Amino acid sequence: MNGQGGTMLDTNPDEGYTTADGRKIGGIAMEMRNITLRFGGVVAIKDISFDIRWGEIRAIIGPNGAGKSSMLNVISGFYHPQDGEVIYKGYKRPRMRPYQVAQQGIARTFQNIALFEGMSVLDNIMTGRLHHMKANIFHQAIWWGRAAREEAENREQVEKIIDFLEIQHIRKTPVSRLPYGLKKRVELARALAAEPSILLLDEPMAGMNVEEKEDMCRFILDVNDEFGTTTVLIEHDMGVVMDLSDRVVVMDYGKKIGDGTPDEVRNNQEVINAYLGVAHD
C-alpha cells in the first residue's frame, strides 16, 4: 500500500518517538512554516507553524471558523498561502495544482461528501487509482495490452481496500443509494486507493451516529496501524480526537493556541478558554 516508496523514507532513527501502544513514529514528513492565508481583508490563517511526522495521527481542532479547513486546504495544495512555506519530504514545496499534490502522495476526503453519486462504489474507488494508470487513451479505448493489465492490477488493489474497510456487500451498489455513514467509508476507501503517504480527513465523523463513529475510528486506527499511513484529521468531536490522535494542533481565530499530545492540549488554559469561554469578573 505504501506506494510512494514507503512512508518512513526520510526517517532518521534518532528522530521521532514511540507511542504508548508501541507504534514507531518517524521523522518530520511535512512542516508548515509561518503560514499566513488571507482572503482579501480576512485573515484566515495567521502565522502558523507546526509539523507532521511520518506515521502519526495528527489532529487539527478548533471552534467553528477557526481556520481548520483552510489549513487542510493549504496542506492539500488547494489554497496557496500569501506568506510562509510548506516543507514536504525535506524540500520546499513550490506552488502546485491540487492534482500535482495528489501525485506527490497526498490524498484527502471532504467534509461534504464528494463522490460520483451515479457510479458504483467500485468505480468510485477505482477513480482513486487514476494516477496509477499509465495506459494511453488509445489502449484504453480498445481495452488491450497495458490497459487491460493495469485495470486488473488496480482492481486487485481496490479489492484489498474493499476487504479492509468491509464494504464487500455494497461493491456494486450506486453511491446514491448508500446511507451517509457508508458514503464516508467509501470516500475513505477512494483516498486510500491512491496509496497516499499522507491522508487528509476533513471531519470524517461529522453527522454520524455513535455506531458509525466507532466504526470509522476503528478504520482510521487500522489504516494507520496496518499501512503506517500518516493521517491528518480535522474533527469537532473532542472525544474522538483525544482518543485517536498522537498530537493535536488547536486553532482559534486563525491562530495556533495549542500544540501537543491530547493530554497537554486538554490541560492548556488557552484551549479551555477557547472552547468553554472565559468567565468575566
User: With contact defined as beta carbons under 8 Å apart, do 167 and 189 qualify?
Assistant: yes
Give the nearest distance from C-beta 57 to other proteins in angstroms.
16
Q: Which C-beta is closer to other proteins: that of 165 or that of 194?
A: 165
Count the residues of the shown chain that bind other proteins, applying the rule CB under 8 A: 16
* CB of residue 22 to other proteins, shortest distance in Å: 6
Binds other proteins (CB under 8 A): choice among 159, 212, 237, 270: 159
| Number of other residues whose CB lies within 10 A of the CB of residue 13 | 8
Least CB distance to other proteins at residue 219 (A): 11
**Which lies closer to other proteins via its Cβ, residue 79 or residue 227?**
227
Binding to other proteins by residue 169, rule CB under 8 A? Answer: yes
Which amino acid, residue 140? Q
DSSP assignments along 61-76, one per residue: E-STTSSHHHHHHHHT
Residue 218, C-beta contacts closer than 8 angstroms, at least 6 positions apart: none
Site for other proteins in 27-86 (CB under 8 A): none
Measuring CA to CA, which residue among 48, 121, 55, 60 is closest to residue 85? 48
Is 163 one of the binding residues for other proteins (CB under 8 A)? yes
Between residue 138 and residue 157, which ones bind other proteins under the rule CB under 8 A?
155-156
Query: CA–CA separation, 80 vs 94, rounded Å?
Result: 10
Using the rule CB under 8 A, is 15 a contact of other proteins?
Answer: no
Please list, in sequence order, all residues whose beta carbon lies within 8 angstroms of the beta carbon of residue 177, skipping any fewer than 6 positions away. Answer: none
223 or 250, CB closer to other proteins? 223
Query: For other proteins, which is the closer residue by CB, 76 or 230?
Result: 230
3-state SS class at 188: helix
Residue type, 122: L
- What cell numbers appear for 253 in the block? 481565530
Q: Which of 15, 166, 243, 263 binds other proteins (CB under 8 A)?
A: 166
Q: Does 22 interact with other proteins (rule: CB under 8 A)? A: yes
Q: Which residues contact 265 (CB under 8 A, 6 or more apart)?
A: 248, 250, 258, 259, 271
243 touches other proteins (CB under 8 A)? no
Facing residues of 232 across strands?
58, 200
Q: List the x/- string, 187-226, binding to other proteins by CB under 8 A.
A: -----------------------------------x--xx
Q: CB nearer to other proteins: give 243 or 264.
A: 243
Q: Footprint of other proteins on this chain (CB under 8 A)?
A: 21-22, 155-156, 159-160, 162-164, 166, 168-169, 171, 222, 225-226
